[in-house]
Amino acid sequence: MILLQVVVSGLLMGAVYALFSSGLTLIWGMMNVVNFAHGDFVMLAMYAAFYAFTLWHLGPAFFVPGAAALLFVLGVVVYLGLVRNVARGPMLAQILGTFGLALVLRYSAFWAFSANFVSLPENLVGGTIDISGIRIEASKLLGGAVALAITLGMHLVLTRTMLGSRVLAVAEDRNAAMLMGIRPDRMQALAWGVGAATTGIAGALIALFFYISPTVGESLSLIAFVVVCLGGFGSVPGALIAGLAIGVIQALSAYLIGAVYQDVLVYSLFLAVLWVRPQGLLGKL
Amino acid sequence: MNINRIATILGLLVIALWPLLVHDVFYQRVGALVLLAAISASAWNLIGGYGGQVSVGHVVYFGAGAYASLIVFTRWGWPPLAGAPIGVAVSLALAALVGTPTFRLRGHYFSMATIAAAELVRILASNWEVTGAAVGLMGPPVPRDIWDFSFTSPVPYHYLFLAVLLALLWLTWLMQRSRMGFYLAAIRGGDRAARSLGVPVLRYKLYALLLSAGFTSLAGTLYAVMVGFVDPESGLGILLSVKMVIIAALGGAGTLFGPLVGAVILVPLEEATNAIFGGGGTGITFIVYGAIILFVARFQPGGMAVIWRSLTARTQASRGKNRAA
Amino acid sequence: MLLEATGIIMQFGAFRAVNGANLTVTEGGITGLIGPNGAGKSTFFNCVAGDLVPTAGTIRFKGQDVTRATPEQHARLGMARTFQVPVTFEDMTVAENVMVGAFLRHGHRHAARRAADEILGFCGLDTLAGSRAGSLGTPGRKRLEIARALATEPQLLLLDEALAGLTPAEVRLAIDLVRKIQRRGITIVIVEHIMEVILSLTGHAVVFHQGQVIAEGPPRQVVDDPGVIAAYLGGSMKRVRTPTP
């Protein structure tokens, strides 16, 4: 029974991983730029949620969409101010660009909020729900459910709407899209905004049931990379499946070999995937 | 006698005579640290600059060298320098593990893999008693003989590091002019075109990485010999990866003296800010480093080398010397 | 038989770009691959060059099976190619670009430099040897691509629309160079749109349409073939008056 509980817990966390990782896969698929600051975007959203509550007593109904909006703006700003310029340059500039951004965000948070962990009160989304013997915290259930819904929604928007097909067209072939009257610059800015918004929602959700610290960005970025590689570059459904898988693997390894080593397993899995099947489950290289 | 040659000779002269020019131990130590940083950054430069493959987890090779040296001391009583070959061997194995699957893919995969590998090793080292877990390892408290290379003055270290740096730069210079140098430049210029000319892209990227990892490991050993202590933070922490990259990039990645120039600028700067603000406890160091990386990436990826070239080109032109475009 | 491609099929998902094409190239000639846009000749070309692995079919070069060989292996075996859009190494000099090719056959810098110098002279690029490749215009870049490929000492040179985008005067210079290369003993396969080039340069023309070869033979004969004309109807085939020699 405990094992099943661990798996369910992992699935719920995995759904949140899937959410922000699908944002990363969208960004990467769009324009071949990897956002090394992705995990730090999540971290910023976590703090946004925390301060929205502690300073203005706003509940999750406010701070979840609020964080999404805030991070959307940040994503667009980062695209316009940085990414657009480095994307066409040498690889060094591309990678150092978002890497430098990650450091600035992470350690500005460190300096502004101090290294101490903080957390939202446990009764914010309170209680534990019992489903046939499996006890799940309501906050985790909410987080997982919302994450899953939004990830699926994103996939549907991308594949079933006019706007979505425009975004995908730019990802597929920028020049051809231009010839069809689609403006790549706008679509890419939108992709960055949406990609960042997913981190906003994810971060605000995680804040409901997890501690918040300035340095979570590093391991969350790595988790996003693993999920995107495992799921397949550019594939949102891939990110969903891989996110859930990673969540479960992480939960199981924490339970079986100890929380200290849970990341070790995920990183080793990452290197293994690169060796064995770099295109992931559903993606192209 | 062109300005580059003059500047190089003058610069190397100052560096060589530095411990004799300043008499304060503090400044002599800074000099040695500049050289050590230059070695690490020049080693990074082999894969990151010349190879065009951006490693952001390079500290793992440094840590392998540092830890290997202090493990052979704490376990078997060997002089720390004797651990150098072991550190190099471990580094080469790690490099092959990270590079082989990722070099046939787009550049981002390699960069991501380097972070994962570095973090993985750091967590393992933090929990293994052979590496001293979170506490770390210490070197010989009192030198037992000359082979311990344990000196009270920074001056011998300065010259030891200078020798290693010159050897590394000489090797880099040879590489640059050889087939390997041309092939790496071709790979940077365009994978597809390079392959059509017969360049074995994967193999040469690996050569560059292995060379880089080996020398970075050596830098780690030298660090352990001088400082006599290593722990997961000082030997495997992300700060070192960042410093290697930023020193090379600021000075000019892919140029011979870029990393040295970067070290000359950044290491004294760090020592000065530490002295004034009392250590990097608040994370301001990282903010500054991150900002520098951001600016270099966004505005001048070529670093100081490009700025130097444009400045000197103007003086050359104004003196009437005409260089073919 | 220098090159033999049989039954080449190239499928991209649901789309079949090449549908059973054959090509035989004997030593010493200049063969032209022509056809309207989208006929599959460029895809076929890339299969032969090693950029793509065909879905089906075999390619034999000098008797060896190279169907799945990598571009590097192609170069080593003696098959070189240029790209439709020149991909010269912008930040290296013209001489350094050619040296990259020369290093395939000469391990040491001095030998590679000497070989490169010879090629530069042959291609008329010696005055530009020290210039940055990025500073060249399109005709210079195309010429540099050819020089670089020649430095790998190939027996077979594949030119991908090497004369597109050039003025008529530049085209004539390029044709001269290609003839020079042939006289040096190198077999050439060229993908081309420009009629003047096909008629005056190639000894054997192969016409592609909808992924298949619909005609082949001496260029003048092929061009008058009713099937070929029908294939081009609706498309554009530039008929430039052939220059008096």
pLDDT of residue A281: 78
Number of residues assigned to chain C: 245
Cβ neighbours for B213, distance < 8 A, ≥ 6 positions apart: B43, B47, B61, B88, B91, B92, B94, B95
pLDDT digits (tens, 9 = 90+) for C92-104: 999 999 999 999 9
Q: How far apart are CA B118 and CA B124, in angstroms?
A: 10
Bigger pLDDT: B197 vs C198: B197
SS3 of residue A33 by DSSP = coil
List subunits contacting chain B, requiring 3 or more Cβ pairs under 8 Å. Answer: A, C
Q: Which residues in B lie closer than 8 A to residue C111 (C-beta atoms)?
A: none
Q: Do B198 and C104 touch (CB under 8 A)?
A: yes
By mean pLDDT, which of B65-74, B222-231, C178-187, C218-227 is the weakest?
C218-227
Q: How far apart are CA B46 and CA B254, in angstroms?
A: 7
Average pLDDT of chain B? 90
With CB atoms and an 8 Å threshold, state whether C96 touches B185.
yes
Nearest to C49 by CA among C19, C21, C20, C82: C82
Tokens of C143: 């010429």
Instruction: Tell me the CA end-to-end span of chain C in Å, nearest whole number.
Output: 31
Quote the tokens at residue C108: 């040491």
Q: Where are the beta strands (DSSP E) in B118-267?
A: 137-138, 229-230
Please name every residue paired with B138 in a beta bridge, in sequence order, or none if there are none.
Answer: B229
Instruction: Give the CB-side neighbour count of residue C209, counting CA atoms within 13 A.
Output: 12
Which A residues in the span 226-255 are in contact with B, Cβ-Cβ below 8 Å?
Answer: 226, 229
Q: How many CB atoms lie within 10 A of CB C213?
A: 22
From residue A141, give the alpha-carbon distance in Å to each of A2, A254, C244.
17, 19, 83
Which residue of A32, A111, A219 is in closest CB contact with B282? A111
Q: Is residue C233 scored above 70 in pLDDT?
A: no
Strand C204-209 to strand C212-217: parallel, antiparallel, or no bridges (unpaired)?
antiparallel
Which B residues in the span 263-282 are in contact with A, Cβ-Cβ below 8 Å?
A: 282
Is ipTM > 0.85 here? yes
Q: Is the pLDDT confidence value at B325 over 50?
A: no
Instruction: Judge: A97–B294 Cβ closer than 8 Å, yes or no.
Output: yes
**Nearest to residue B23, comparing CAs of B35, B34, B31, B11?**
B31
Q: How confident is the model at residue B278 (pLDDT cuts 50, 70, 90)?
A: low
pLDDT one digit per residue (tens) for chain A, 285 residues: 788 889 998 999 999 999 999 999 888 887 778 899 999 999 999 999 999 998 988 888 889 999 999 999 999 999 999 999 888 888 888 888 999 999 999 999 988 888 888 888 877 777 788 777 778 888 888 888 888 899 888 888 888 888 888 888 887 777 778 878 788 888 889 989 999 999 999 999 999 888 899 989 988 999 999 999 898 888 888 999 999 999 999 999 989 888 888 889 999 999 999 999 888 777 665
pLDDT one-digit tens code per residue, C106-133: 999 999 999 999 999 999 999 999 999 9
Name the residue facing C89 among B178, B186, B195 (closest C-beta).
B186
Can you give the pLDDT at residue A262?
85
Which residues does chain B have within 8 Å of residue C130's beta carbon, measured at their own beta carbons? Answer: 324
- What burial class does residue A116 get, using C-beta atoms within 10 Å of its C-beta: 0-12 exposed, 13-18 middle, 19+ buried? exposed
Q: Are B212 and B191 in contact (CB under 8 A)?
A: no
Q: For position A235, what pLDDT does the model report? A: 86
d(CA C40, CA C29): 22
Overall average pLDDT of the B292-316 stretch: 86
- Per residue in B155-214, pLDDT tens? 999 999 999 999 999 999 999 999 999 999 999 998 899 999 999 999 999 999 999 999
Q: Which residue has the higher pLDDT, B210 or C217?
A: B210
Residue C188 has pLDDT above 90, yes or no: yes
Contact between chains at B197 and C80 (C-beta distance less than 8 A): yes
